[in-house]
């Protein structure tokens, strides 16, 4: 099973990943440490896969790293992520919405 779209929540120590297949079905959810997430992502994602994450200082570094490996990265401005935090939505919900086509 290869993923076509992935949403990533970057944090200090633990990253949350949510992936969907070509049909839009959620098939992969992981909570991984900083040193394991990139390897896991590279094993699961198809080349050319779209990856969405909130724009922040660390996101730009990871976006460049992923783009150099052939992935399409979409950085989501924080003002579009903030409504999910205010309404007490869970992070997987935000990630699902961030990877919509």
Q: Which residue has the higher pLDDT, 63 or 89?
A: 63
Provide the 3-class DSSP secondary structure of residue 21.
Answer: coil
Any idea which architecture 3-98 has in CATH? 2-Layer Sandwich (3.30)
**Phi-psi region at 20: left, alpha or beta (left = phi > 0; alpha = psi -120 to 50):** beta
Cα–Cα distance measured from residue 17 to residue 51, given in angstroms and rounded to the nearest whole number: 10
Q: Which residue has the higher pLDDT, 35 or 100?
A: 35
Q: Find the radius of gyration of the CA atoms of the chain.
A: 12
Determine the average pLDDT of the residues in 83-99.
Answer: 55
Domain spans in the chain, listed from the N-terminal domain onward = 3-98
**pTM, whole model, 2 decimals?**
0.75
95: enclosing H helix or E strand: helix 91-98
pLDDT digits (tens, 9 = 90+) for 19-78: 888 888 888 888 999 889 889 888 888 778 899 888 888 889 999 999 999 999 999 887
């Amino acid at each position: 099973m290869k993923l076509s779209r992935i949403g990533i929540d970057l944090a200090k120590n633990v990253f949350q990943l949510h992936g969907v297949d070509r049909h839009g079905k959620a098939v992969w959810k992981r909570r991984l440490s900083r040193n394991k997430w990139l390897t896991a992502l590279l094993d699961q994602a198809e080349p050319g896969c779209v990856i969405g994450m909130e724009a922040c200082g660390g996101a730009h570094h990871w976006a460049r790293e992923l783009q150099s490996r052939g992935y399409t990265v979409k950085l989501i401005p924080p003002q579009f992520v903030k409504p999910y935090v205010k309404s007490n939505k869970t992070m997987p919900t935000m990630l699902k919405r961030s990877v919509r086509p």
